[in-house]
Amino acid sequence: MSKKTKTLRPKARRPKGFEDRFGALASAENALIAAAAGVYHSHGFDPLSTSALEYADCLGKFLPDDDRPNEGVFAFTDDDDQWMALRYDLTAPLARFVAENFDPLPKPLRRFAVGPVWRNEKPGPGRFREFIQIDADTVGAPGAAADAEMIMLAADVMDAAGLARGEYVIRINNRKLLDAILGGIGVPQTNEGAIQRMRVLRAIDKLDRLGPEAVARLLGEGRKDDSGDYTKGAGLDAKGIEAVLAFTQAGAGDLNGTLRTLEPLMGRSEIGAQGLGELRAIADLLQAAGYEDGRTVIDPSIVRGLGYYTGPVFEADLRLETLNEKGEPVRFGSAGGGGRYDDLIARFRGQPVPATGFSFGVSRFAAALHALGRLGNAERGPVVILALEGDQMAQYFAMATELRNAGIRAEVYMGGSGMKAQMKYADKRGAPAVVIVGEDERTQGQVTVKNLILGQQMSGQIKDNKEWREGRPAQVTGARSTLTAMVADTLN
């Protein structure tokens, strides 16, 4: 007797740090993208789509680890032995695109882009290796006006997403202020100093998540996290750590109050004076445009973790809370950020090209809004037309088309099960209603529309089957010609 050959089947498993988004959450992302794109388009920004892959040298020194191109990003060598990498944001590809097409492009260039980006980093709660960003950037515009417009755009997107005053704030700072602080404590303008500055930036960028004590260790010798992984610190001494933390805590609430608090910390630093001047100009523009109504604040703790920023930086902060699975309060925090990056395109062209931009992390932002029910009817499923007679599919499709032409989301059941299973399917789809046309309804020229949401609410109030049958709650029957009106009335 021959031995049976065992069929080897792969285990269905999702890669660590990646997520599947289906149904309501994916709809929430689409709704947020549409809201943000609408804001950008109304401000005169044009869409741009770039490839997912870039040559690693085009991503440049701002890679998480440029000595090992496959660390921090997902990279591989092409057939001509050149390193290629999945883009880690949408800004570096923009810099390459502008440099490659510089002469024919209008300057300033105003563009927005949406798409996935990838980071080959350790995943954690709320931290994924793939996520969607939607960016707006202005290239070729020096001065505070372009930066102020980016901050206004960020606030307008938050408004378009349905957030109210007090539920978010755009926090603003300037990298030049931190450069002044670091210069004052002796961080040198060398390659070693640049590495040290980058570690300082990344440490400060974790303030909201880790708190001052853990960040102080990252500014010093380093820190071991809960998993046992060790992160090397910036190597500042105790006095340097104290100076950096004091700077991050210098916010005074209103724009002008914070500027007054920061001024003495800059001493005689020329770069610090430049940074303060740029912040004052931005503050004046925000006040004139009516954005100093709680939507914007200067916050020295905002530095942004990427190395290419050269001046003003900003971050959109969600001040909303929800409960996690354990019933504990969770604050959402940052939904996106950006800033000025005047040196990024200069890597290709050898001359400065001023640029500024803002980027929203769609996945994180949409997950927060979805959890709070802030994206309209993204969770509502389609009206389901039950397929009770196999030879009547043409009529069912005609009904679905009629409903869609009236702006109502609808589908015909495509399975092979009976009425009970079809009703269960509609429940799983989150359908607000089903359309029922069996033999009795068809021969009488009628349709029945059942409101599933109201039916669920009333089912707890009905005492027995007799009362249910006699009352026939949440269900109406009428002429076939009134289908659209019946369904529309049921959904309102």
The tens place of each residue's pLDDT in the chain, 492 residues long, gives 566 778 888 999 999 989 888 887 888 889 899 999 999 999 999 999 999 999 988 887 555 444 455 678 898 888 998 989 999 999 999 999 999 999 999 999 999 999 999 988 888 766 789 999 999 999 999 989 999 999 999 999 999 988 888 899 999 999 999 888 888 888 888 888 888 888 888 888 888 788 889 988 999 888 888 777 888 888 898 888 888 888 888 876 677 788 888 888 888 889 999 999 999 999 999 999 999 888 999 988 888 877 788 999 999 999 877 665 566 666 778 889 999 999 889 989 998 899 999 999 898 888 777 777 676 555 678 999 999 999 999 999 999 999 999 999 999 999 999 999 999 999 999 899 999 999 999 999 999 999 998 755 544 444 455 544 444 457 899 999 999 999 999 998
Domains assigned to the chain: 24-371 (3.30.930.10), 383-491 (3.40.50.800)
Alpha helices in 333-482 (DSSP H): 346-349, 362-371, 393-405, 419-428, 439-443, 452-459, 465-471
Whole-number Cα distances in Å, 251 to 9, 193, 256: 58, 27, 10
Cβ contacts of residue 249 below 8 Å, gap of 6+? 300, 301
pTM of the shown model = 0.79
Sequence length of the chain is 492
Encoded amino acid at 83, one letter: W
Q: Identify whether the C-beta of residue 386 lies closer than 8 Å to the C-beta of residue 429.
A: no
What value, to the nearest 5°, has the Cα angle with vertex 479 and ends 475 and 483?
65
